Amino acid sequence: MLARLGRTVARFRYAVLAVWAVVALCGAVLGGTVYDRTQPLDGLRPDTESTRAQARIDELTPTGEQLVAVVSGRNFFASDLVSQASRIMYEVRAIPGVVKVTDAYTAGSGQISSDNQSSLVVVELSPYLDDDAALAVADRVAAALHRIDAPQVLVGGRLLAERDFGDQAIADAAFGESVALVALCGVLVLILGGLGASSLPLGTALATVAGTLLALTGLAEAVPISEYTVNVVTLLGLGLAVDYSLLILARFREERAADPRAPLPELLARTVSAAGRAVLVAGLAVGVALSGLFVFAEPLLAAMALGGALVVALATAAGLTLVPALIAVAHRRIPTPGTRTWVWRRPARRGLGLLARSAAFAQRRPAVVALAVTGALLALSVPLLHVHLAGSDARSLPAASEARRAYEAVQRDFAAKYPQPVPVVIEAGPDEPAVRGLLDRMRALPGVTDVDLREGVPGQATIAEVETPGPPAGEQVQRLVRELRALDTALPVLVAGPAAELVDAKDAMAARLPVALAVVVTATALLLFLLTGSVVASVKALLMNLLTMLATLGVLVAVFQWGWGAALLGFEPWGALDLTTPLLLFVFVFGLSMDYEVFLLARIREEWSRRTGDDRAANDRAVLAGIIATGPVVTAAAVSIGVVFLGFALGQLVAVKEIGVGMAVAVLLDVVVVRGLLLPAVMSLLGRANWWPYGGRPAAPAAARPSGVAAGSPSAARSVKVGSSSGADRPRA
């Protein structure tokens, strides 16, 4: 079927290119509007306790968005400051849409720092304003407050922080994509030997991203998506498109070198039949990994899963159709490796590439290498034992963001003196004896400093505000949430607030993670078994992916939680990883690791199926021959996709930076360490057991097929001397 697809694409190449040109053009024109359709998404399902509690609070006592401002740098009691600030506070109260202003100048709130150098202002907006109207009022309030004659006036709040997050996400995406594409172009020119060849994967990547943006624009009409979704999905699309393009392109050059007189449709048929199978299985593996996000059912993760599924489908389709069509049109401009071009001034030296040299070394000392690499990866994962997960707040914004600086100023100067209370909804009036008894037990909980009752609540319900020191979603407040929920009472009680939301998110992740892992691991193992016919190869691949994942997360904890190298990467750590980062990295790293595993295993199995003898030497020769053939492709893909991820790591949003750095680290570890050393070492130790239970042999004898025709393997009849530095009979790509 894939061979027929290759012939069809070659025959109708211009029609295929026209279809993709329309997709790319529509994506370029209409896809950019996706950012106008994005919206902040909740990380929790509507049925979680904190979400239901907040909905009930909004029903009982509707409240609008709150703005917070910190006026600092001058003594609060300076007469001219008091006079001017008081006048401006009255101006703010007069702004339409403002319902309440709490300040120390005119409301007697006493919200003054201990050194009298700063004061806190809280402005509540009308709950009946939509987002656009609320932002317009917030801007007027901020403009008025900034007129206060103080060295520093910082205005923030959730509403302004969310807008800053969205604006920064758009800016980061534009900057990251621009840097990534420019750097990627240079890398591809060096790898492929010219502009003509490099334009193929680059054009495929651009078409895939444009198509993804177009698909996300349509998706936004049906389900809500966030700017964060767009950033992560475009990053994934660039990487996958380049990976699949390089694999198809490398296989075409190999087939052409083996049979230069073959007709172009036949060459593309062999190319798509051999490499296209790996692309199809790899795309399915990434899609399966993304499907694990659906298990969690949270709006943000569901949108991520849908967007990811779209980009994987587009990248796979582009690899199987657009790349062969481009090759059919521009095949004369694709140089054979080793030929002299304006980039390659001298013919490439013959010999083993990076991965092949690593593999040969590992095969000579398989036990030592396997133990050393496994130990090193486990050592890198040790920081994961100390991971602290939290929901991203204003601290994930750039350090210069006013919303972040306002948040930090509030936490620094006012959190201890004026802690943010934990709201508790009790479905009974405050005069009920059971309610009074429950309130007394709340006051007796460890760390609770006060319990107040909110005014204006209808008589059939009570809203208690429980105060305890610490940040709004800190560990101490999270413990309080669990203790409040554990109180034995017959009354319906719901706990709300940032700490309750974080507790619910952690509990939901812990409850559904085993199911998600089971779905991803089972489906991926089945795909690998269908590709290789081996249970051992499938299990081995999953275990090596797990090592890559653990080591990557350990590095992220050291960098983003502990701050190692923070200055180099240009961010300020906030002592935690975003709650969604490990989950998203698991999905993306698992999918990309399966990409490289499929690329290598498909070729190794192809080599093994053509070799005689069942001894360990035959197995080692097959492994090394497969790595020699595919290693340059995997190396080139890793370098290219690493450039893409590092481009996004240059952005300012810490949550996106975590994903970019994490993916770059994972690719480096997976390709250089796991595929270059651990894979050949373990396969050498296992020998023929790699292919249990079917042995990996084809049903028909290998000799019955001409080399490079049915199986599409020009190297099938060649042998490689294990451990030799000149065992490759083809130049490095």
Q: DSSP labels for 446-480?
A: TT--EEEE-TT--TT-EEEEEE-SS-TTSHHHHHH
Highest-scoring range by mean pLDDT, 115-119, 221-225, 703-707: 115-119
CA separation, residue 535 to residues 502, 540, 688 (Å): 40, 9, 12
CATH classification for the domain delimited by 66-156, as one of 3.40.50.410, 3.30.70.100, 1.10.10.60, 3.30.390.50: 3.30.70.100
Q: What is the pLDDT of residue 495?
A: 96
Rounded to whole angstroms, how far apart are CA atoms 94 and 99?
9
Query: What is the pTM for the complete model shown?
Result: 0.79
With beta carbons less than 8 A apart as the criterion, state whether 609 and 697 touch. Answer: yes
Q: What is the pLDDT of residue 695?
A: 60
C-alpha closest to that of 292 among 44, 586, 580: 586
Question: Of 197, 313, 255, 200, whose CA–CA distance to 6 is shortest?
Answer: 255
Model confidence at 1, in pLDDT bands (50, 70, 90)? confident
Whose CA is closest to 716, among 582, 611, 599, 573?
Answer: 611
173-187, 221-235, 519-533, 562-576: segment of lowest average pLDDT: 221-235
Tell me the two tokens of residue 406.
């306002």
Query: Average pLDDT, stretch 496-512?
Result: 89
Q: Which residues partner with 596 through β-bridges?
A: none
* Residues near 106 by beta carbon (within 8 Å), at least 6 away in sequence: 86, 89, 90
3 state DSSP class of 99: strand
Interatomic CA distance for residues 422 and 443, integer angstroms = 12
Reply yes or no on whether the pLDDT at 350 is more than 70.
no
pLDDT of residue 582 exceeding 50? yes
Q: What is the pLDDT of residues 583-614, one digit of tens each?
A: 888 877 887 787 788 888 888 888 887 765 56
Give me the residue label for tokens 């943000």. 300
Q: DSSP per residue over 367-386, as a string?
A: HHHHHHHHHHHHHHTGGGGG
Residue 727 has pLDDT above 60, yes or no: no
Indicate if the pLDDT at residue 397 is higher than 60. Answer: yes
Strand partners, 458: none
Q: What is the mean pLDDT of residues 417-432?
A: 89
Tokens of 249: 């392109």
Just give the CATH number of 424-502.
3.30.70
Render pLDDT for 402-415 as a digit per residue (tens, 0 to 9).
999 999 999 888 87
What was the pLDDT predicted at 185? 86
Task: Evaluate the omega torsion of the peptide bond into residue 398 and state whether it is cis, within 30 degrees of 0.
Answer: no
φ, ψ (nearest 5 deg) of residue 154: -110, 125
Query: pLDDT, tens digit, for every residue of 66-95?
Result: 999 999 999 999 999 999 999 999 999 999
Residue-averaged pLDDT of the chain: 85
CA–CA dist 240, 664 (Å, integer) = 14
More reliable by pLDDT, 495 or 395: 495
Convert the pLDDT of each residue in 296-345 to its tens digit: 767 777 777 888 888 889 999 999 999 999 999 998 888 876 677 666 65
Contact of 148 with 119, CB cutoff 8 Å: no
Let me know: does 441 contact 194? Beta carbons within 8 Å.
no
Question: Looking at this protein, which amino acid is placed at residue 1?
Answer: M
> Which phi and psi angles does 493 have, rounded to 5°?
-130, 135
Q: Among residues of the chain, what percentage have pLDDT more than 90?
A: 41
pLDDT band at 509 (very low <50, low <70, confident <90, very high): confident
Report the C-alpha dihedral over residues 611, 612, 614, 618, rounded to 10 degrees.
Answer: -50
Neighbours of 134 (CB within 10 A): 19
pLDDT at 32: 75
Domain boundaries, the chain: 2-38+164-336+351-390+505-697, 66-156, 424-502
What is the C-alpha separation between 334 and 252, in angstroms, rounded?
Answer: 10
